[in-house]
Amino acid sequence: MATEEPKAEATYEAGCHCGYISLSVTLSPPLPEHEVLHCNCSICRRGGYLLVYPFHPKVTWHHDSEKRVSRYEFNTKSRDHMFCPKCGASIGIDFERFKPDKPYYGISVRQFNDVDLDSLKYKKFDGIHKMVPAGDLSGVEINTETGEPTSSGSQK
């Protein structure tokens, strides 16, 4: 009986610009073979996200960084966008409330140490048109029951 070879994985050190937030991310497959999501939705574009999606156990937060990271919610408020409260670096997205049975993160490879971003494989995603509700939702509050924009918030 043939045995399956274990999948290759690699661990990457990551963190914010000022060093207040630090973490390790284990990916399978490793980055050279991994597809990195390049989304054009308003939060990914403004936060500069280039995302990989490890499950929670594959991310190790150092020096209490998980508690120190600041969190921002918008739209349906089902995900936490994580950033450093000191330097403002966008770390990624916590999808735990969105998928509580299999919690995972979207971690921005821009925060990985010593990674050549030009050498990575990217998968483009048209989030500004395909995510519901669609459009640039910067500054817009969404009614979580109807999924529609409310009258509050700054619309363009």
Task: Indicate the fold that domain 10-141 takes in CATH.
Answer: 2.170.150
Q: pLDDT tens digits, residue range 71-102?
A: 998 777 778 999 999 999 999 999 988 888 88
The residue to which tokens 């050279």 are assigned: 32
pLDDT exceeds 80 at position 150: no
**Cα–Cα nearest to 89, from 39, 19, 11, 27:** 19
> What whole-number distance in Å separates Cα of residue 153 and Cα of residue 112?
34
Quick check: helix, strand or coil at residue 59?
strand
Non-local CB neighbours of 81 within 8 Å, separated by 6+ positions: 43, 47, 71, 72, 73, 74, 90, 92, 93
pLDDT digits (tens, 9 = 90+) for 19-60: 999 999 999 999 999 999 999 988 899 999 999 999 999 999
